[in-house]
Amino acid sequence: MGAVGWKVIGGGAAVLSGIAAKMILTNGWKVATGNEPPANPENPDTSWSEAVSWAVVSGALVGVVRMLAARKAASYYRHSTGHLPPKMEEVS
């Protein structure tokens, strides 16, 4: 498993984490606000508070979920190969 294997594993993790983040965001927004999330926060008819809230929450959650998925994928890669994926260095 080399660079191609890592691209497959890392890419798969990114796609799945994006799907999971969208589901979490949509359901969480509905529970928290009682409304559907904004379809297009850039639309001037969307209130500023709703647009900014959606941008902050969605950006933070997507970033965290993708980071968690990448860490898990790198851990799996290291377990399978004995070393970290290409271009991912050890932290000392």
Q: Residue 8: is its pLDDT beyond 80?
A: yes
Q: Using an 8 Å Cβ cutoff, are 69 and 16 in contact?
A: yes
Query: Which residue, chain included where needed, has tokens 């999330």?
Result: 37
Q: Is residue 59 part of a domain?
A: yes
List the domain range (segments joined by +) for residue 48.
3-81
Q: Summarize the chain as % helix, strand, coil (round to 5).
A: 70, 0, 30
Q: Is residue 87 part of a domain?
A: no
User: Between the CA atoms of 44, 50, 56 and 62, what dihedral angle is there, to the nearest 10 degrees?
Assistant: -90
Q: Is residue 91 part of a domain?
A: no
Q: pLDDT tens digits, residue range 34-92?
A: 999 998 999 999 999 999 999 999 999 999 998 999 899 889 888 988 888 887 776 65
Measured CA to CA, the distance from residue 55 to residue 52 in angstroms comes to 5
Q: Is residue 89 part of a domain?
A: no
Q: pTM of the full predicted structure?
A: 0.74
Q: Is residue 65 part of a domain?
A: yes
Report how many domains make up the chain: 1
Q: Is residue 18 part of a domain?
A: yes
Q: Is residue 22 part of a domain?
A: yes
Selection from 49, 14, 16, 13 nearest residue 33 by Cα: 49
Q: Is residue 23 part of a domain?
A: yes
